[in-house]
């Protein structure tokens, strides 16, 4: 089956630093990638949708200057959490859509971010 | 507004059967997904229903009733490894996924 690679899987950083998370589709071209955030015992919250070669579409309440998304190619999207603060600590998950069917949605393994 | 409801937590016994219900209210509908998520891991796809009826896939089956805005995930012959959260998600008319909060399933020996 299709594989989406996400790394790092776990990162601890100091408050005020920036963290970059990569999401790669390994064996298919992902025209659309999604970035989610998940707090403990809560559901996935869509942060933004990114299409290759265009600006990401952010959900209401998500600061686009804080969560920078770049989808430079059909196989790579990055999320950069700029000037991270403890409240940004969360589980971040990417997913990629390949093909026409929306059921062809594959998830990365997630990144646990802890900001001290 | 758009909403997905599913129980917060369920407990079942190893070897038994459990049914996890999900009701949804969305602006348009293009299908319903079930995902399994183990703690600290990303969700993995279980099923997708867009037509009414039951779809069976091994020990797992998923049912959809579009007129009632209702779906369930049926897990048979429960195993300890089935302990996880089960997420229900509906696809609205804009092809946006609306996620439920998940049902934590606890399997006891």
pLDDT 10s digits, A48-57: 998 887 889 9
pLDDT at A1: 59
The percentage of residues in chain B with a pLDDT greater than 90, rounded to a whole number, is 78
The CB density around residue B90, as the number of other CB atoms within 10 Å, is 25
In this predicted structure, the answer to whether residue A67 has a pLDDT above a threshold of 70 is yes
Contact B40 A6 (CB under 8 A): no
pLDDT at A101: 61
In this predicted structure, the answer to whether residue B6 has a pLDDT above a threshold of 70 is yes
For residue B55 the two structure tokens come to: 């779809």
CA distance B25 to B78: 30
> What is the rounded average pLDDT for all residues in chain B?
93
CA distance A108 to A7: 9
Residue in the structure block whose two tokens are 């690679």: A5
Please identify among residues 8-47 of chain B the ones whose CB lies closer than 8 Å to any CB of chain A. 30-31, 33, 40-45
Q: Are A43 and B102 in contact (CB under 8 A)?
A: yes
Give the residue with greater pLDDT, A98 vs A44: A44
Contact A93 B43 (CB under 8 A): yes
Tens digits of per-residue pLDDT, B93-105? 877 788 899 999 9
Pairing of strands A10-13, B32-37: unpaired
Contacts of B36 (CB under 8 A, 6+ apart): B43, B44, B46, B84, B85, B86, B87
Question: For residue A11, what are the CA distances in angstroms to A19, A49, A90, A91?
Answer: 8, 23, 10, 10
In this predicted structure, the answer to whether residue B55 has a pLDDT above a threshold of 90 is yes
CA distance B45 to A15: 35
- Nearest by CB: B102 against A43, A46, A105: A43
Q: Are A41 and A62 in contact (CB under 8 A)?
A: no
Contact A93 B48 (CB under 8 A): no
In this predicted structure, the answer to whether residue A64 has a pLDDT above a threshold of 80 is yes
Among residues A110, A33, A42, A103, which one has the least CA distance to residue B87? A42
Tens digits of per-residue pLDDT, B8-20? 999 999 999 999 9
């Amino acid at each position: 089956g299709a594989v989406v690679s996400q790394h790092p899987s776990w990162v601890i950083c100091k408050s005020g630093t920036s963290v970059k998370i990569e999401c790669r589709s390994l064996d298919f071209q992902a025209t659309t990638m999604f970035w989610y955030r998940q707090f403990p015992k809560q559901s996935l919250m869509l942060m933004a949708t990114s299409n290759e070669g265009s600006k990401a579409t952010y959900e209401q309440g998500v600061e686009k200057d804080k969560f920078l998304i770049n989808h430079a190619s059909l196989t790579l999207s990055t999320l950069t959490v700029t000037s991270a603060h403890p409240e940004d600590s969360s589980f971040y998950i990417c997913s990629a859509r390949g093909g026409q069917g929306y059921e062809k949605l594959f998830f990365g393994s997630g990144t646990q971010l802890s900001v001290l | 507004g758009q909403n997905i409801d599913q129980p917060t937590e369920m407990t079942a016994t190893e070897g038994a059967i459990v049914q996890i219900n999900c009701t949804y209210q969305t602006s348009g509908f293009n299908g319903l997904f079930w995902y399994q998520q183990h703690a600290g891991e990303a969700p993995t796809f279980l099923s997708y229903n867009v037509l009414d009826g039951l779809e069976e896939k091994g020990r797992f089956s998923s049912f959809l009733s579009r007129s009632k805005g209702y779906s369930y995930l049926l897990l048979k012959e429960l195993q300890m490894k089935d302990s996880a959260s089960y997420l229900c998600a509906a696809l609205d008319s804009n092809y946006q996924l609306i996620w439920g909060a998940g049902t934590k399933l606890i399997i006891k020996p």
